[in-house]
Amino acid sequence: MTHLIDTLGHPVSGATATAIDHYEQAAHELRCLIGDPLTTIDRALAEAPGMSIAHTLRAWLHLLGTEAPALPTARAAAEAAAQHAGTDRERMHARAATLVTGGRWRDAARVLADLAAQYPRDLLALQAGHQVDFFTGDSRMLRDRIARVRPHWNDAMPGHHAVLGMHAFGLEETGDYVLAERTGRRAIELQPRDTWAWHAVAHVHEMRNAPQDGIAWLEPNAAQWSDDSFFAVHNWWHLALFKLEQDRHDEVLAMYDTSIGGPGSGVVLDMIDQSALLWRLALRGVDVGDRWNPLAERWAAHANAGNYAFNDLHAMMAFASAGRSELAAQVHEAQRAALAGDDDNRDFTADVGAAATRAVQAFVAGDHPTTVELLEPIRSRAHRFGGSHAQRDLLDLTLIEAALRSGNSRLAARLVAERAAARPASPLVQRFAARAAA
């Protein structure tokens, strides 16, 4: 079989030169999280219906949003990729995507690691693996999956910025903030539209509790990371967190209305940020008005999805806060079904998700002792159900607030001391400390 070659030297089955051009453009859009890579990859497949790697990319585009309604389309794309695969590399790609369609995230991570070991310049394998590591909460592999291949890359190679941006995020999640910032900034120098790299450096400033630095990083450069980006909501969320840390509540609510929740995105990854921001505001006693109700309505289509516990938690925040008990009941039923399953979400739910979801419902109901009882045992293993340190910090904030409201002063004092050690200049921590002392 005759194969054409992609820009990084990999043989591509079933392709034409035009189809490869479309594929490369779609892959670039996915790496930068800009444009419409699904439309672009569909152009490749219209030109070359038997192009296996294009089917694989299409599968990942339907998988990396963690949306249950997209799974049948992803499954069909993975099956087409396997059917048309003409190389071992393409067969491994199809296998990894197929595993995720069945909820086997960790098995897919291992296949993608083997793929990258054989083909260290396979950017799709690296990016898919990096995202799988994120969804499984494997911070070490967020770093090491990329570190393993960096000797095979240099600035002259197309897509090197993405390798650097992914490594920057992995370095941040493993606590190497100096190298993470340096690496992320270098990625932006190579490709100013690399939204993931902008996000990686924002995480550094969040973990350092440096809100002014975070604002200076994101706000003047918003056009680079927000225009035509399908990841813009998440970076607006980061900017809102920096302003929230400075107690600029009115500005945060305005940002929610203009850029985060107000536009009404029903994309699950966007709704996670919407729930998380409103929840943090509510924990502070900020009146968020009627904003929970339309958000709960958007989440309603996913109440019984039961495919990813991290999503369940954020859906429950909206349902409980909006008083949608019937939708909350659907989440619990979906989680019971997940616990009876045999895929990775069973573990995500059993280890963290079920308790966390019940805890936020108890908190809204004013049952703060139960919130403490549910959250305290899982806080040290919360990474097991995915997300970043910044996202999972919401569980610690909820636990501190519940301890304070329940009158559990000893626990509250210990938790506040922990947080003060990491964020001594935080106004919120100082308020926590005063309340715990009182």
Residues 127-142 pLDDT 10s: 999 999 999 999 999 9
Q: List pLDDT tens digits, range 187-225.
A: 999 999 999 999 999 999 999 999 999 999 999 999 999
d(CA 25, CA 31): 10
Q: Does domain 1-137 have CATH number 3.40.50.10600?
A: no
Q: List pLDDT tens digits, range 66-106.
A: 999 999 999 999 999 999 999 999 999 999 999 999 999 99
Taking 70 as the threshold, does the pLDDT of residue 230 lie above it? yes
What Å distances lie between residue 11 and 2, 48, 52, 278, 352, CA to CA? 9, 15, 11, 48, 42
Residue 438's pLDDT band, with cuts at 50, 70 and 90, is: confident
- Number of residues assigned to the chain: 438
Angle at 201 between CA 207 and CA 251, to 5 degrees: 75
Residue 2's pLDDT band, with cuts at 50, 70 and 90, is: low
d(CA 56, CA 45): 11
CB–CB of 359/339 below 8 Å? no
Instruction: Write the burial class of residue 212 (CB in 10 Å: 0-12 exposed, 13-18 middle, 19+ buried).
Output: exposed
Neighbour tally for 157: CB within 10 Å = 15
Which CATH number applies to 138-260?
1.25.40.10
Q: Judge whether 1-137 and 138-260 match in fold.
A: yes
- Mean pLDDT, to the nearest integer, of 25-34? 98
Query: Residue 37: which H helix or E strand, with range?
Result: helix 37-47
Domain boundaries, the chain: 1-137, 138-260, 261-406
CB–CB of 32/191 below 8 Å? yes
